Each structure stands twice: as C-alpha cells, then as structure tokens.
Amino acid sequence: MSKKERISSTLELRGISRNFGPVRALDGLNLVLAPGELVALLGPSGCGKTTALRIVAGLEVATSGELFVNGERYNGVAANARDMGMVFQSYSLFPNLNVSENIEYGLRARKIGSAQRAKRVAEMLELVALESKAKSFPHQLSGGQQQRVALARALAIEPRVLLLDEPLSALDAQVRSQIRDEIRRIQLELGITTLFVTHDQEEALTISDRVGVMSNGRLEQIDIPDVLYNNPASTFVANFVGTMNHIPTIASGDTVDIFGKKIRVKNSKGVNGSVSALVRPESIEVTRTSGSGNAKIITRSFLGASSQIICQTAEGAVIQALMPSHESGDLHPGEDVTLNVTLSEVLVSHV
C-alpha cells in the first residue's frame, strides 16, 4: 500500500450514539469524510463533538452505531490498533522524552528499525520546521512548538485519519492563526483525511473543507463554510456561525416587516406574531437622511476595508451593520439614518 493510499482513507460514522448515565451526549451522529478531506465539528461545549472524536479514536466506546474506516468496521478495534494520529488540546508530549524521541515513540511501538525511524523523524521535523529543536525537551519549548511536535508525532505513524481535538485552544491568538494555517498546509500536502473538533467558528471556517455544526449531540448542518454562513439551515447555525442581528418584528403569513420592507420568511412558514429576524451585519445598509430616518448612529468603528456601524432604531433595538469604509465615511455618531435590508428572504426565530 503506498503512503498516499494509506493516508487518504474514508471515515464513516453511522448512527453513533453515546450515553453518559442519563445524559445523551451523542444522538445518532451520521458523518462521512471523503479521502483527504478536512471536516471540522463545531459547536458549543457539551454538544458532543469531542465525544464523537474520542469514539473515532477508540478512547470512548459508542453506546450504539457503527464506525468504518475504508469500509472496514472499527467498532471493536482497540485504540492502539487503530492507526489514528491524534493531537490533543495541550500538554500531551511525553515530558521525559526529547522532541525526536517523542516523534519516534509511535514508530518504536510498531517495532520499526532504528535507521528507518531516524529517517522518518528527520522528515517530520522538516515538515513542522523544528529541525533545530530535535534534542530539546518539551518543557523547553513554547506552546506553539509543542503543538507542532505533537502534530509531527501524530503524523509520523502515517495514520489512516488525523484527529485534532481543539489543538489551538491553549495557544495565544497570534500563534493560533499561524499553527492553524500550518495544520492546513500540512494536511493538504499529505492529503490526509482529518477530523477537527473546535468551538471556535473562525478556526473551523478558515481551514475546513466542510464544517459540521453540532448541538445537543446532533449534527444541525454540515456544508462548505460559504453555504453555512450565507444559507444557514436553522436559527441555531445562524447564531453560532458569524455575527447575527436579532431584529424584533411582527410576522404575518409568509412575510415579516423589516424597516418598512416586506421580506419573505425562509423558515417557520405561516408563523404570526412577534419574532426576531436574523440578519447579518453586511446585509444592512445605512444611508444618511436629510429628514428623520428610522434609526440613530451610536458608533462607527473603522476596521480597515470595512467599518462597523452600530445604530439604534426608534423602537430601541441595537443593530450592527458592516459597510465598506469608503461608503460609510460620512456617517457620524448621533446622526439620523435610514436602515435598509438587502435580502430577499430571511430566517426568523420565535421570541
């Protein structure tokens, strides 16, 4: 089996459930990863994403459901026989072993000869650009370096699937985006099927081929980042991914009234009464009015190419808008403005 074939496996979870006593942490999760695909599981803490990852790794046992790697059933396979590379949240390097020894640990367990081990360690060190740290001990490395070694160690065994359990959450912001991009580069270079668990939507959206949003042990929606952002399937996904305005309004029939404009409701057809319309900041247009508008500007923050404008409507709702900076230069705090929604249909949630 060539390296590429071995590393680009399919991973399939079929109706995986897991109960912890009376709590149902995972509720019939179905998920298929194509060879070489990076899929992120995104969700708030307690949504079951980590449990799903741990079941794939063999560190947790599913209450029901089946797991397949390359079509082979993996349910009863022990964690140490699964050939899965896993990167943990933090502090998972063996403190008594130096960087090289950490990387070759999995190779030793596989009884691979020392010449081959040394070759593989050198390759891995080059991959994560840590050749100079080969003889350092974990406590002498920074958090980012430690996670790169952990990644190299997980990849050294040529795993069938790479599992990332919030590998960036213990790092500070700057290092985080750097390691994030490095993970994606290496993942694409090796073409390794990867399951990535995170609670950070930015992390998930930036490096994944597809993102699965989870809530209460179920997959709410799984799609490419663009669709997830622009066309969320549920109000949960809409709220969890990206920034969202909740505009209080009244629904009648299939439409809601937003800033005096009738807009079609995408979900909960036929709903009547008080609802919140979910509108992204970039779908709101702020224009100056000579007379009285429907809102007042509270602040405008310059963010570079775009600017964030926070307004308050006559009814008291605070609305966030995102506009190109060159179009919003003449908007000043305290001014009366007119808000407009540039959407043809909208998601609503009950209040």
Q: Which of residues 23, 109, 224, 318 is near another protein by CB under 8 A? A: 109
Q: Decide if 256 contacts 244 (C-beta within 8 A).
A: no
153: contact with another protein by CB under 8 A: yes
Task: Pick the closer one to another protein by CB: 90 or 178.
Answer: 90
Q: At its nearest, how many Å lie between another protein and the CB of residue 108? A: 8
d(CA 278, CA 261): 15
| Residue 302 binding another protein, by CB under 8 A | no
Nearer to another protein, 88 or 229 (CB): 88
- Note whether 105 binds another protein by CB under 8 A: yes
Which of residues 11, 40, 128, 157 is near another protein by CB under 8 A? 157
Identity of the residue, 196 or 259, whose beta carbon is nearer to another protein in the bound complex: 196
Shortest reach from residue 138's CB to another protein, in Å: 11
By CB under 8 A, the count of residues binding another protein is 34
User: Pick from 43, 106, 217, 281: which binds another protein (CB under 8 A)?
Assistant: 106
Is 58 a binder of another protein (CB under 8 A)? yes
Establish if 154 lies at the interface with another protein (CB under 8 A). yes
Nearer residue to another protein within complex by CB, 161 or 275: 161
* x-or-dash string of contact with another protein, 114-143, rule CB under 8 A: ---------------------xxx--x---
What residues numbered 66-95 form the site for another protein, per CB under 8 A? 79-86, 88-95
Interaction of residue 262 with another protein, rule CB under 8 A: no
- Shortest Å distance, C-beta 303 to another protein: 38
Q: Is 59 in the site for another protein (CB under 8 A)?
A: yes
**Cβ-based nearer residue to another protein, 73 or 110:** 110
| HEC letters along the chain | CCHHHHHCCCEEEEEEEEEECCEEEEEEEEEEECCCCEEEEECCCCCCHHHHHHHHHCCCCCCEEEEEECCEECCCCCHHHCCEEEECCCCCCCCCCCHHHHHHHHHHHCCCCHHHHHHHHHHHHHHCCCHHHCCCCHHHCCHHHHHHHHHHHHHHCCCCEEEEECCCCCCCHHHHHHHHHHHHHHHHHHCCCEEEEECCHHHHHHHCCEEEEEECCEEEEEECHHHHHHCCCCHHHHHHCCCCEEEEEEEECCEEEECCEEEEECCCCCCCEEEEEEECHHHEEEEECCCCCCEEEEEEEECCCEEEEEEEECCCCEEEEEEEHHHCCCCCCCCEEEEEECCCEEEEEEC
Contacting positions for another protein (CB under 8 A): 57-59, 79-86, 88-96, 98, 105-106, 109-110, 135-137, 140, 150, 153-154, 157, 163
